[in-house]
Structure 1
Amino acid sequence: MTFSLDAPWALCLAATLLTVAGSELGRPVDAFGTMGHEEPKIVQSSPAADKAASSNPLSGDAEAIGEGHGLFVKFCAPCHGRHADGESRFGKYAADLRKFSLGYREFVVAVKNGRTGKQMPPWKEYLTEQQISQIGAYLETLAIEGASWK
């Protein structure tokens, strides 16, 4: 598979890799260049907080949600935006994850393998299954009407 370097995803991927590289070198930064490390803030309670409403094994787990927020900021926010609404500093190129309606299992597949034709690269080489579940648990807390994490 070949990718065009002028695609918007390339800018998002570059920003993510720079963020990861910077934080791995001991300079804590988030996807927006903010120095320091903020505690995760849960925006709202999840409509899927009930374990029965999601197939994510970490759904509703406060510690997993906090870890998921940090991972989201580091790996996902450069493209999907600080609020997971698809609005990043590069424009609106990515999906609004607050409205994700394909279910948790499809979320895992999309993160691992990327989305062909959707400009999302695969993350299976960078994120573990546990980390993907943590990100999913965090995103459930941002879900708006119509979203589905079953």
Structure 2
Amino acid sequence: MSEAARATSSGPGRVLIAVYGVFALSATARAGVQIATRFGEAPVAYLLSALAGVVYILATIGLAGHSPAARRLGWAAVLFELIGVLTIGTITVFDTGDFPDDTVWSVYGRGYGFVPLVLPLVGLWWLRHTRAR
């Protein structure tokens, strides 16, 4: 007999959701200020920070939800986040020309203590850990 999926918002998942919520708020707010005040200086970087903020919002919603659709949203957002931080991180290590200012995912999240690199790994582990068996 198969066991139902555990809620991703239970136990340690609550801390994970809180961290995602903080990143959703901080990345979105920072990008909003940068776009409103200095967009011409680094438009690619600021738009990527805004995209990261949206991804963090979606991941927070997906991880906090209790439905199968929320779980799918969580998987999609966290996978996108991992691909984003690896791609942008690699680009910014080798080509800083297009990124005169940091994004959340620049150099694998160096400006945020590399939490943006570790966070999707923890998120994917948690989604897998709480899946139906």
State the structure with more CA Rg: 2
Higher helix share: 2
TM-score by length of 1: 0.28
The TM-score with structure 2 as length reference comes to 0.30
